[in-house]
Amino acid sequence: MHFNHYGGEAARLAAGLVNLTESPRPEDLETLLVAHGVVNRALTTTQVESIWEWSRRLAVCFGRQDLEERCHAVNELLADASSSPRISLHDGQPHLHYSAIGADAAAHIRAVTAAGLAYVICSADADRLGRCARRSCALAFVDTSRNGRRAYCSVRCANNDAVARHRDRGRASQDRTHS
C-alpha cells in the first residue's frame, strides 16, 4: 500500500511517537522527525513536553478496537490540533498542508499526526493502525502491507513469536509423552 507524505507517513510518525518509552529531549526527537520528513523540527523543551503528552493521546488510536471508538478518539485529536488545512504549490504540485502558515513545529506535528490517522481510517482501513501481536512487545505500527493483515511490528517480532509458539508446542507434546 502506498501512502502519501501527509497521510500514511504522518500516521507512521504518530506510531513512532507512540512508541517512545519516556519523555524525550529535543535532540532525541531529531532522528524520528527526520525519518518521517518533518522539515520544521526546531522544538523547545516545552514543545517537546507537549509532544510527549500528545503521543500518549495518540496511543489510544492504535490496536484492535471498535471503529466508532477509534473515530471518536481521532476526532478529538483533530479538534485539539485544529488548524486550517490549505493547498500548497511550493514544489509545483498541489498538495495539502495541515498546519497553519507560521505554525510552530509542535503545532505542525500535532496537526499532521492527527490528519495522518484520519487519512488511514478513511482512505485505507482503521485496522491498519495496529499493535504488535507479540505478547512482550505491543509496539504501535501502521500496516502498509498489500492485504492489510499484518500482526507484528517487525519481521523480528514475527519470527521470535513463531519460534516461541514452536517451542511451546514441542514442550506440550513432550509433556504428553511423559505423562
pTM attached to this predicted model: 0.85
Output the pLDDT for position 3.
58
Residues 6+ away with beta carbon under 8 Å from 42: 105
Render each residue's pLDDT in the chain as its tens digit; 179 residues: 555 555 688 999 999 999 999 999 888 899 999 999 888 889 999 999 999 999 999 999 999 999 999 999 999 999 999 777 888 887 788 878 888 888 899 999 999 999 999 999 999 899 999 999 998 999 999 998 888 899 999 999 999 999 988 887 877 666 666 66
The pLDDT of residue 168:
79
Contacts of 132 (CB under 8 A, 6+ apart): 138, 139, 141, 151, 152, 153, 154, 157
Q: What is the pLDDT of residue 2?
A: 55
